Amino acid sequence: MTDAQLISRFDALLADLDGVVYRGPHAIPGAVESLQRLDGIGVGLGYVTNNASRSPAQVAAHLRELGAPAEDHQVVSSSQAGADLLASLLSPGAAVLITGSPALAHEVELVGLKPVHSAEENPVAVVQGFNPAIGWKDLAEASFVLADGDVLWVATNTDMTLPQTRGTAPGNGSLVAAVAAATGRQPLVAGKPEAPLFHAAAKRLSSDRPLVVGDRLDTDILGGNRAGFATVAVLTGIDTLESMLAARTEERPRYIIRDLAGLYEAYPEIDNDGGTFRCGNATATVAGDAIRIAGLKDDLDSWRAACAAWWVARPDADVPTAPELEWLDQ
């Protein structure tokens, strides 16, 4: 084990928001304090969010209300990515149907396009982003417009779920799926898990060695991996230790911590001794479709060792593949 804090290996932290910093309107315990510590050790901070319901300025204001350090420019959102993608594909002034929030409409306007809200305004594109106030009529209007195969369709993101204080709620991906089912079409996706959002955030911070932290394997971790950055998964949101163990190859994080406070802990090295993987006091060995784990179930090192062993044994997993777990020491 190295005595150095995990975060000391990097020059910036690119943090997801929902499920990492807050759930619904409330901060996750310890998250704000962990973010506040970054400036004292010279590590930059950026926020990379797929939530297109609010503008970056509104997101930054919310973060400041929670006590987290946040300037407007530190927030990079999928609504910005969606608007940029539209601008690269359409002529200036082109009409775009907004199936989303006023914040999304504002970003579309900022790139020189015309936000509209009805098929009668002859849109040549549809952009769909999360808005908790969205209804059937909005999804129907998008479907009517997309019946024309020449109309461009962009989704800011396709997160199927959204962590909230009361539990897990449908995300933008669920709403996109409804329109896809009605039209038989699939959108271009602008935000996570695509790499440009992460590259834009790193560029703003002049970061060469950023660490991406997220709670979702299929967006945060996959996007960070695609960007070529180190990734760390936290357990405060959607994905669990079990889903991380079974993850597809592209969605496997380099590090696993419980919450943001884990950034300031020493991260144990994982040794491979002839197929026996050791992390701290725990070991894991793959036997066929099972993993034999010598360690405590509530010890994170047991799961780190298990992940290392299983991922080496299954290097090319295109679908989530869950092993049987045999606990030898409980």
Q: For residues 124 and 97, give the distance between their C-alpha atoms in angstroms, rounded to a whole number.
A: 8
Contact call for residues 16 and 213 (beta carbons, < 8 A): yes
Contact call for residues 101 and 54 (beta carbons, < 8 A): yes
Extract the tokens encoding 241: 């230790």
Nearest Cα to Cα of residue 265 among 2, 71, 63, 40 = 2
18 annotated active-site: yes
Q: For residues 36 and 68, give the distance between their C-alpha atoms in angstroms, rounded to a whole number.
A: 6
Please enumerate in sequence order all residues whose Cβ is within 8 A of that of 15, keeping only pairs 6 or more positions apart, or say none. Answer: 21, 35, 45, 46, 47, 48, 213, 214, 260
Nearest Cα to Cα of residue 274 among 312, 301, 303 = 312
Contact call for residues 80 and 105 (beta carbons, < 8 A): no
Buried b (16+ CB within 10 A) or exposed e, 23-35: beeebbeebbebb
Extract the tokens encoding 148: 């024309």
Which pairing describes strands 276-279 and 282-287: parallel, antiparallel, or unpaired? antiparallel
208 annotated active-site: no
User: Which member of 3, 18, 159, 298 is catalytic?
Assistant: 18
Residue count (the chain): 330
Nearest Cα to Cα of residue 162 among 317, 37, 22, 316 = 22
> Torsions phi, psi of 210, nearest 5?
-80, 155
Please enumerate in sequence order all residues whose Cβ is within 8 A of that of 67, keeping only pairs 6 or more positions apart, or say none. Answer: 27, 32, 36
User: Which member of 3, 16, 208, 220 is catalytic?
Assistant: 16
Extract the tokens encoding 251: 């969605």
Catalytic residues: 16, 18
